[in-house]
Chains A and B, each alone.
Chain A
Amino acid sequence: MATPNTTLWEVFIRSRNGLAHKHCGSLHASDATMALQAARDIYTRRGEGLSIWVVPSSAITASDPSEKGMMFEPAESKIYRHPTFYEVPEEVGHM
């Protein structure tokens, strides 16, 4: 189905209290109100959400896939940045 000239929106859903909104997809809608309703109808029909954010896709500044070598590879060799070099006391539980 063609949807010419209709703004593209990114949809973020928070599934439970205490969790962050998570990107779950995109949709077309003429404005923010309709985007929110469409997000409700498309992405929360199976009880997935307690809160919805919609953001115009044009508002997102994205990294350039062709720069991923420069952007991300330098981090790969720095395993000491992972918090895995100490033991978590059992009393702390799940972190």
Chain B
Amino acid sequence: MATPSIKISETPLVLHVLRRADDALILGHRLSEWCGHAPMLEEDMALTNMALDLIGQARELYSYAARIEGKDNDEDKLAYLRDERQYRNLLLVEQPNGDFARTIVRQFFYSVFADLYWRAMMRSGDATLAAIAAKSEKESAYHVRHSSEWIVRLGDGTEESHARAQAAIEYLWAFTGEMFEVGDDERGLIDAGIAVDAGKLRAQWLKIVSGIAAEATLTLPSNDWMQKGGRAGRHSEHLGHLLSELQMLQRSFPGATW
């Protein structure tokens, strides 16, 4: 890699915003990998539309993170010039697309969480975060709608689609606990009414997800052992490969535009 990684002053608020931004960027990138490959043209457009929503959210959040950090960084540097360990996204969103069922289940798990999260964040005492949340909530509400319609059709569809959707749920389940994790550095922000207490969203998330799963004749796993690490920068082996593709251009041709 030709360009060195940037350094970031990780204050609690900067970290908090980067976690949100990284979730959106990495999931947006994963969805963009479907471009030209989806099972049908209509779904190709749907997946890439969601990707663009998420990348738009990431841009606003990175710009804000750069602004509150107050250093020489900007949205592009934050997106393209950090090392794997500096990314704070959920392990869930970096998991490979797998088959269509796995992509949809991943989207469903994340979107239900994100929608609850943005809805709560709309009441943040930080005006910028509240505004980003208000815009993002409309997008995530549609992502919930779209992915849950697919969950019902895959689960309650053919034997094959049911088996694939059930396998996807079992594969991804262990990555869902991390969504409700609250870092020690976030406590102060939560107490100050700036950040959302993600832990408090779990019951509602489970209720929505269980409802759709039941309608889809799918079973949620009963095990509650959960993978962790993404929020602290400890990732699965998949993120490095994703970043090599995501960052290649900016690392090789710094500041390239077209």
Residues of chain A having any CB pair with chain B under 8 Å: 1, 3, 6, 27-30, 33-34, 37-38, 40-42, 45
A62 to B87, CA, bound (A): 57
B7 within 8 A of A: no
Known: A3-B41, A27-B42, A30-B153. 13 other contacts (CB 8 A): A1-B38, A1-B40, A1-B44, A28-B41, A29-B42, A33-B149, A37-B145, A37-B146, A37-B149, A38-B42, A38-B45, A40-B142, A42-B45
The reply to whether B49 and A41 contact each other, CB–CB distance below 8 Å, is yes
Interface membership of B46, Cβ < 8 A: yes
Q: Report whether A3 and B153 are in contact in the complex, using a CB–CB cutoff of 8 Å.
A: no
Interface membership of B39, Cβ < 8 A: yes
A40 / chain B contacts, CB cutoff of 8 Å: 142
Q: Which residues of A contact B39 (CB under 8 A)?
A: 1
Main secondary structure of the interface of B (DSSP, over half): helix
Residues on B facing A (Cβ under 8 Å): 38-46, 49, 142, 145-146, 149, 153
Does the CB pair B153–A37 fall under 8 Å?
no
* Shortest beta-carbon contacts, A-B, top 7: A38-B42, A41-B46, A41-B45, A3-B40, A41-B49, A42-B45, A1-B41
Chain A proximity of B47: nearest CB distance (Å): 9
Is there contact, CB below 8 Å, between A34 and B153? Answer: yes
Give the CA-CA distance A29 to B146 in the complex, in Å: 13
Cα distance A21–B209 in the bound complex, in angstroms: 36
The minimal Cβ–Cβ distance linking B35 to chain A, given in whole angstroms, is 13
Would you call B49 and A37 a contact (CB within 8 A)? no
Give Cα A68 to B17, complex, Å.
63
Q: CB-CB < 8 A to A30: which residues of B? A: 153
Nearest opposing residue in chain A for B41, CB measure: A1
Contact between chains at B149 and A28 (CB < 8 Å): no
For the complex, give the distance between the alpha carbons of A1 and B36 in Å. 9
Residue of B nearest to A2 (CB): B40
A6 x B149 contact (CB < 8 A): no
Q: What are 12 A-B contacts with C-beta separation under 8 Å? A: A1-B41, A3-B40, A27-B41, A27-B42, A28-B40, A28-B41, A29-B42, A33-B149, A38-B42, A38-B46, A41-B42, A41-B49
B145 partner residues in chain A, CB cutoff 8 A: 37
Contacts of B46 in A (CB 8 A): 37-38, 41
Q: Which A residues touch B43, using CB under 8 A?
A: 38
A6 closest partner in B (C-beta): B40
User: In the complex the two chains form, what is the Cα distance from A23 to B38 in whole Å?
Assistant: 26
Least Cβ distance of B173 to chain A in Å? Answer: 26
- Look across to chain A and name the residue whose beta carbon is closest to the beta carbon of B40: A3
Closest beta carbon of chain B to A70's beta carbon, Å: 37
CA distance A82 to B101 in the complex (A): 57
A38 / chain B contacts, CB cutoff of 8 Å: 42-43, 45-46
On chain B, the residues within 8 Å of A29 by CB distance are 42
Give every chain A residue within 8 A of B142 (Cβ-Cβ): 40
How far is it, in angstroms, between the C-alpha of A37 and the C-alpha of B43 when the chains are bound?
10
